């Protein structure tokens, strides 16, 4: 797929990614947005996402992102990036349904190719890596490079997870030559945490429990704890990864309270023994073999943990 070709004769483009946008979602949406505004100024283009984490506000176009309720339009072309199914678009799903034509670019293994045209590569490190492949490399500006690089950094855990391929490093190398401040992007968007975030991480680790002869680790953060520590759900990124690096642990499970009686579950694993995307699909979520998420209903989060652990046990 070449984006330049897909844009021929198109008057308006909407771009959206998944709810609770992460680095790859924001990076892929904004890289395409900046590419279109730079090289196709005649096209009317919008990015529609839920509010993005402030760490990504430095990216070009971040302040032009719209929320679904602000937009009343039908697009000629609607681009769905880093989103495994239409429901994960949240309120932006209406634009997807009303668009004349839709394209999905994604790397979620659970993606069922739900758009008119689909470019799905589940082995790709990130949607940003796939976006790089559909753009004209010579036209990637420093600002576009920052968006793509940020997404790659976040979905690879700074080029560490096994999804990181030779191509990932080669593309990152090309992006570095565009003059981006890569040490700062990594530090400011990936590693830097607020004092409150470090404290809630400490709380999560203190409460963690081991299961299945210490092959599984799980922890829970309730809504009450989030209020007590002064954090929001978006500040809990990184907790499940810290659980994952526990010595000898295969699977890490992290739950946090959403509204009453509902919990968001994030899971991570190390080896090839467990396929977490299968467990996520069972609970109507999605993701990858080694990183997946879903929502569960229940009043006792530790009982929910028991259910997930028994799902893991079936695969161990």
Residues that bind Mn ion (CB under 5 A): 24, 82, 127, 155
Please, which residue, 28 or 208, has the CB nearer to Mn ion? Answer: 28
Nearer to Mn ion, 156 or 197 (CB): 156
Which residues, other chains included, contact 291 with Cβ-Cβ below 8 Å and sequence gap of 6+? 161, 266, 267, 268, 276
Least CB distance from residue 128 to Mn ion, whole Å?
8
- Toward Mn ion, which CB reaches closer, 18 or 215? 18
- CB 83, min distance to Mn ion, A: 9
Nearer to Mn ion, 24 or 85 (CB): 24
In the complex, the smallest distance separating the C-beta of residue 276 from Mn ion, rounded to whole angstroms, is: 15
Distance CA 242, CA 4 (A): 41
Region for 66 from its dihedrals, namely left if φ exceeds 0, alpha if ψ lies in -120 to 50, beta otherwise: beta
Q: How far is the CB of 161 from Mn ion (least distance, A)?
A: 11
Comparing CB distances to Mn ion, the nearer of 127 and 242 is: 127
Residues in a beta bridge with 286: 293
Q: Shortest distance, CB of residue 101 to Mn ion, whole angstroms? A: 23
The minimum distance between CB 35 and Mn ion, in angstroms, equals 18
Shortest Cβ distance from residue 223 to Mn ion (Å)?
Answer: 27
Task: For Mn ion, give the closer residue by CB, 155 or 237.
Answer: 155
User: Which is nearer to Mn ion, 257 or 287 (by Cβ)?
Assistant: 287
Task: Name the residue with the smallest CB distance to Mn ion.
Answer: 24
C-beta neighbour count of 37 within 10 angstroms: 14
């Amino acid at each position: 797929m070449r984006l330049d070709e897909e844009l021929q004769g198109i008057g308006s483009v909407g771009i959206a990614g998944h709810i609770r946008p992460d680095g790859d979602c924001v990076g892929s949406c904004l890289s395409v947005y900046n590419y279109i505004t730079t090289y196709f100024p005649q096209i009317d283009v919008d990015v529609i996402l839920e509010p993005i984490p402030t760490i990504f506000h430095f990216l070009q176009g971040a302040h032009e992102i719209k929320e679904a309720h602000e937009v009343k339009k039908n697009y000629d072309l609607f681009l769905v990036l880093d989103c495994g199914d239409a429901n994960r678009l949240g309120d932006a799903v209406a634009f997807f349904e009303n668009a004349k034509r839709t394209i999905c670019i994604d790397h979620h293994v659970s993606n069922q190719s739900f758009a008119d045209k689909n470019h799905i590569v589940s082995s790709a490190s990130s949607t940003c890596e796939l976006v790089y492949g559909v753009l004209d490399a010579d036209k990637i500006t420093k600002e576009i490079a920052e968006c793509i690089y940020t997404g790659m950094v976040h979905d690879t855990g700074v080029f560490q997870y096994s999804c990181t391929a030779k191509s990932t490093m080669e593309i990152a190398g090309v992006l570095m030559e565009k003059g981006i401040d890569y040490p700062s992007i990594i530090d400011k968007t990936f590693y830097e945490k607020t004092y409150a975030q470090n404290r809630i991480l400490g709380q999560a680790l203190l409460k963690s429990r081991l299961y299945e002869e210490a092959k599984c680790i799980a922890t829970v953060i309730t809504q009450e704890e989030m209020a007590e520590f002064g954090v929001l759900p978006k500040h809990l990124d990184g907790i499940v990864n810290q659980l994952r690096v526990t010595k000898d642990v295969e699977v890490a499970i992290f739950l946090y309270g959403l509204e009453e009686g509902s919990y968001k579950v994030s899971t991570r694993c190390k080896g090839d023994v467990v396929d977490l995307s299968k467990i996520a699909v069972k609970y109507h979520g999605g993701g990858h073999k080694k990183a997946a998420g879903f929502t569960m209903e229940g009043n006792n989060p530790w009982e929910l943990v028991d259910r997930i652990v028994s799902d893991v046990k079936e695969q161990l």
